[in-house]
Structure 1
């Protein structure tokens, strides 16, 4: 005995078209949901004795010298606590605005004469109303006109791909588009130039690549922390 579909021929065509459209829609959604292929750089910075180097900035620039895609520069913070700049090294992307809150119970006078950014925040407490815009790549050395031992660094990167090493000397640059990159390392006590640390590195489209850099360090010549006479309690 023959059986017949209860769906009319015209209806069956409509169902087929509906199923095809649903398949196309689901496929498009799946493509949108799929993460972009990206790889990581697991960086390690060591001194000539093999010891880990903290506060080193590791930067990756895509082949061709173009910065590559990255997040929009935002807002960062360079604090002043216990008469010190915190953090000691702050890496940011070009275009970042940095707040300089003073969380001490005394006033500070923050300044920099660096080529990448010259600015001055006269004697103040609390948080200045406006952040400082760092619009040029380079190293900005911070000082306090009241406390000579207060020194800090803001590293302004032209690339959105950067990270700072921790106490273990390690840092991860995550979610980079697969391809060739130039990797550089900078540190406040770096012996020689940052460009001398440059190396070529191939980043996979998935997974991670390890990169260890050995650098020489100069002595730390920061002024000794001591009371500053004649400053009226500042």
Structure 2
């Protein structure tokens, strides 16, 4: 009779991990939707970031003497492109501890890249145009998304189990600009809502 290894028995007996989407809405204290909020779910045991997620296209454009988008979420290990679509030159930089860098003066039609290897936040600026600002939020989980104008996102394929659901926004009035709550994901997930306090941002056209 052939021996059956205990590890094989455990493997055969273990139930398959299920995954389900998770919907999240982020509103301000007055109930209005908050855009550019980065929502993440991190399993308690952590989660490897697939190569396809790391190698996806992440772009921070310079156009109309502004960065776009205002907030870009990327996973650890991602490379971000910084194309200049303006008629003027830009010198992009960040002095943030997560990933300090400088992209010396370059002009229209040119692109530079930076690979982000550490979780955290990079505040961006331009040495030539003080009014330009944006943020790159580097996350250590494959489950992340950034809210649009409706304040909503859907995290795809969140696996069953305990974890932390977090919302980050650069203008949020909270420690490290982030709020979090424990969440156990299941085969189906109830929609989640966050009410956060966020400062107004001056938009490129001069209005709030």
**Normalised-by-shorter TM-score class:** 0.7 to 0.9
- Paired residues for 1:24-43 under 5 Å: 37-43=18-24
| Higher helix proportion (structure 1 or 2) | 1
Q: Structure 1 runs of 4+ off > 3 angstroms?
A: 68-72, 219-225
- Paired residues for 1:47-86 under 5 Å: 47-64=28-45, 66-68=46-48, 70=50, 71-74=52-55, 75-86=57-68
Q: Match of 1:138?
A: 120
Q: Distance in 2 between matches of 1:139 and 1:176?
A: 24
Structure 1 residue 63: Cα displacement: 1.5
Q: Which runs of 5+ in 2 are unaligned?
A: 1-15
Q: Match of 2:110?
A: 127
Q: Match of 2:191?
A: 210
CA RMSD, 1 decimal: 2.2
Structure 1 residue 36: Cα displacement: 7.0
Question: How many residues align structurally?
Answer: 188
What TM-score, normalized by structure 2, do the two folds share? Answer: 0.83
Structure 1 residue 67: Cα displacement: 2.8
CA contact (8 A) 1:151 1:222 kept: no
Q: Match of 2:10?
A: none
Task: For residue 100 of structure 1, give the secondary structure of its aligned residue in structure 2.
Answer: strand
1:173 aligned to 2:173? Answer: no
Of structures 1 and 2, the larger Rg is shown by 1
Q: Match of 1:148?
A: 130
Structure 1 residue 174: Cα displacement: 0.6
| Higher strand proportion (structure 1 or 2) | 2
Task: For residue 36 of structure 2, give the secondary structure of its aligned residue in structure 1.
Answer: coil
Structure 1 residue 194: Cα displacement: 4.5
Q: Match of 1:104?
A: 86
Q: Which runs of 5+ in 1 are unaligned?
A: 1-34, 226-234
1:158-211 deviations in Å (ceiling 9; x for gaps):
111100001010001011111122011111111012586110112122x33311
What TM-score, normalized by structure 1, do the two folds share? Answer: 0.74
